[in-house]
Chains A and B, each alone.
Chain A
Amino acid sequence: MTSDPGVRVHVRDLGLACCAVEFTAAVARGLLTPAQDTDEPARAHVLVVSGTVTDALHDDIRATWEAIPEPRFAVAFGACATSGGPYWDSYAVTSGIGDVLPAEHYVPGCPPRPEALVAALVESVALR
């Protein structure tokens, strides 16, 4: 999925909870467009972690991450992926994706708007 006419970034959603709906909305609104096989190679591969990270999912999340080609980076989308959010004190929740993957950008919101995702993608790519 591309995000900006000047830079092509391949974006994948790790839809763990409700924030995934906002990712879907970004696609539905045309803020992100589905990738085509004929696309030129992406400048980077982004894993957008959308939703609550539970302790039980760590192995699966890391396996997903390992399967993504380089250069890659992870973005925490929403409060749960950033810090655990409303479930910060739960016995089953990890305090954000940063404990599992090298997250490079954090988008606040519960959930963040689709526009916030695109703004964060543009900013995080520009920072690299």
Chain B
Amino acid sequence: MTAPNPAPPGAQLGDWVAGVTELVDAGFDYLDLLTVVDWPDAGEFEVVIHLVNGDAQGVFAHTRIDREAPVLDSLVGILPAANWHERELAEMFGVTMTGHPEPTRLLLADSPVAHPLRKDVPLPRRQDRPWPGAKPEPGRRSRRTPRPHGAPDQPDRDG
């Protein structure tokens, strides 16, 4: 996770709404996927969309937004199906969806957790539980701190 994605999916859209509108007008009007990839070292979120046309052909597109103050224009006007996707991105990553008609939490309505899919948000249970793999092999002083698999830069690493 030290460099931005060298092969982001599809074309990068400068104007998010205009770019997606173009794809929708070209027949790719079925919203298959709208998600965010968190690149903390690059300081940005990569917003990825996948649209499908009537012949089941798909097209990817993406854009990049600042991670510290993430704002994105809502696609609900051109893709009503984006309503729930965008509410999910708002609660999972903290992206402000400008122009969204109903910007309330979708899945985490009763949860105290904020933005859990951001890579710098620690999972509380991982912090509470000592990783059994932190022990070095017997008789050896570890040269390098072993780390558990999972989100790579979690502050719960002991070591």
- Most chain B CB atoms below 10 A, which of A55, A56, A91, A92: A91
Main secondary structure of the interface of B (DSSP, over half): loop
Contact B110 A91 (CB under 8 A): no
Contact B111 A88 (CB under 8 A): no
Contact B125 A88 (CB under 8 A): yes
Chain A residue total in the interface (Cβ 8 A) = 8
Contact A92 B111 (CB under 8 A): yes
Residues of B close to A38: CB separation below 8 A: none
Query: Chain A, 88-118, contact with B by CB distance < 8 Å: what is the 0/1 string?
Result: 1111100100000000000000000000000
**Chain B proximity of A8: nearest CB distance (Å):** 39
Contact A92 B126 (CB under 8 A): no
Query: Chain B, 64-85, contact with A by CB distance < 8 Å: what is the 0/1 string?
Result: 0000000000000000000000
**In the assembled complex, B18 has its CB within 8 A of some CB on chain A:** no
Contact B123 A90 (CB under 8 A): yes
**Chain A proximity of B59: nearest CB distance (Å):** 31
Contact B125 A55 (CB under 8 A): no
Chain B residue total in the interface (Cβ 8 A) = 12
Residues of B close to A55: CB separation below 8 A: 110-111
Contact B125 A89 (CB under 8 A): yes
Q: How distant is the Cα of A11 from the Cα of B50 in the complex, in angstroms?
A: 43
Other A-B contacts than A56-B110, A89-B126, 17 sampled, CB-CB below 8 A, are: A55-B110, A56-B107, A56-B111, A88-B125, A89-B123, A89-B125, A89-B129, A89-B150, A90-B123, A91-B111, A91-B116, A91-B124, A92-B107, A92-B111, A92-B113, A92-B116, A95-B125
Q: B: which residues have CB within 8 A of A?
A: 107-108, 110-111, 113, 116, 123-126, 129, 150
- 23 sampled A-B residue pairs with Cβ under 8 A: A55-B110, A55-B111, A56-B107, A56-B110, A56-B111, A88-B125, A89-B123, A89-B125, A89-B126, A89-B129, A89-B150, A90-B123, A91-B111, A91-B113, A91-B116, A91-B123, A91-B124, A92-B107, A92-B108, A92-B111, A92-B113, A92-B116, A95-B125
